[in-house]
Amino acid sequence: MNILEIKNLNVVYETKKNAFGATQKVYAVNGINLEIKKGEILAIAGESGCGKSTLAKALMKLVDISSGEIILEGTNILNFKDKELKDFYKKIQMIFQNPYSSLNPKMKIGQILAEPLEINTKLTKKEIKKHILETLEKVGLDESCLNNYPHEFSGGQRQRIAIARALMLNPEIILADEPVSALDVSIQAQIINLLKQLKQDYNLTFLFISHDLGVIKYLSDRVAVMYLGEIVETGQTEEIFNDPKHPYTRALLSAVPELNSKTTDLIELTGELPSPENLPMGCKFHTRCPFVMSVCQTDIPNSTNFSNTHKCHCHLYK
């Protein structure tokens, strides 16, 4: 069952005025179609600047959506107002990359965790305390942290607190935007294993954004590869890692030797990511693709299915 469906989603930012008063359009998310199934961890992979955070912010309604639909449990969230919107924010929660800035430095952990329940539920003080203690235990913390401020904790502990806060209202889906990228490598594995455990315990759905393919391979059930605001390939994690089809996916994998068994298929990713202010015509990857053909420069590739779950947009597979 799909919990979330994204249909032809576009997000266009406008840059600040330059010295001459002119602004520029930034095409950050371009016609994305994607489903997230209940109980899965769907990873969004792609290099920095390809629009991953913008996609997550769009799903949280934190940025203006230029066009498209976001369907949560059958209803388009873009029409939500007042009560519907309040209910929506109980169902969807976000964890950010930087636990240093995502927790209010002036609030004690007890207040940070109680706040969502005080605003959104009619629970008594005692019930709130009980729920907080249960949730702290789930994320590997205990009562002793309640009277401390965020700055008194390590990065890993702070991310545990941010995860606990995200869990307070029993959400359906958690958007995790590079949740371990700011942490020491030794701590990353602990947090990743915690997310895995929470998925099992609560039957949670995760949209997991990362530029780290090693982490994605370990954690996710399914992967969507994003390039310049588009999804270029989707598949089960094994399909993406064992049989990547899109030259961009292959190039990303080629850059991580420990994930690569086939040394014959390596593709080096050359050149810079083009600016989303000035998108290439045709296939957006054609300016960096070693297999570029003339059709790639003019025509947007349709999708080719390799299995029920594995598909890719590339003219090589016509």
* Beta carbon of residue 26, minimum distance to ligand ADP (angstroms, whole number): 4
Closest approach, Cβ 68 to Mg ion, in A, equals 20
Taking CA atoms, 72 is separated from 2, 59, 225, 260, in Å, by 9, 10, 22, 36
Q: How far is the CB of 150 from ligand ADP (least distance, A)?
A: 24
Q: Which is nearer to ligand ADP, 15 or 197 (CB)?
A: 15
d(CA 191, CA 183): 9
**By C-beta, is 138 or 211 nearer to ligand ADP?**
211
Cβ at position 224, least distance to Mg ion in Å: 15
> 3-class DSSP state for residue 100?
helix
54 counts as binding Mg ion under rule CB under 5 A: no
Report which residue type is found at 236: Q
Q: Which is nearer to ligand ADP, 131 or 246 (CB)?
A: 246
Q: Is 210 in the site for Mg ion (CB under 5 A)?
A: no
Are the C-beta atoms of residues 309 and 240 closer than 8 Å to each other? Answer: no
User: Closer CB to ligand ADP, residue 16 or residue 81?
Assistant: 16
Q: Where are the alpha helices (DSSP H) in 121-154?
A: 125-138
Smallest separation, CB 166 to ligand ADP (Å): 19
Task: Pick between residue 91 and residue 211 the one whose CB is nearest to ligand ADP.
Answer: 211
Q: Residue 118: which H helix or E strand, with range? A: helix 109-120
Task: Report helix, strand and coil shares of the chain as percent, to nearest 5.
Answer: 40, 25, 40
CA distances from 9 to 30, 54, 160, 212 (A): 6, 11, 32, 24
Binding interface with ligand ADP (CB under 6 A): 13, 15, 26, 28, 46, 48-54, 276
What does 13 interact with, of ligand ADP, Mg ion, none (CB < 5 to 8 A by kind)?
ligand ADP
Query: ∠ CA(312), CA(316), CA(318), 5° rounding?
Result: 80
For β-strands 230-236 and 75-76, DSSP reports them as unpaired
Taking the least distance from each CB to Mg ion, the nearer of 167 and 209 is 209
Select the residue whose beta carbon is closest to Mg ion and give its number. 53
Query: Is residue 53 a contact residue for Mg ion (CB under 5 A)?
Result: yes
Amino acid at 186: S
C-beta of 26: minimal distance to Mg ion in Å? 14
Residues that bind Mg ion (CB under 5 A): 53
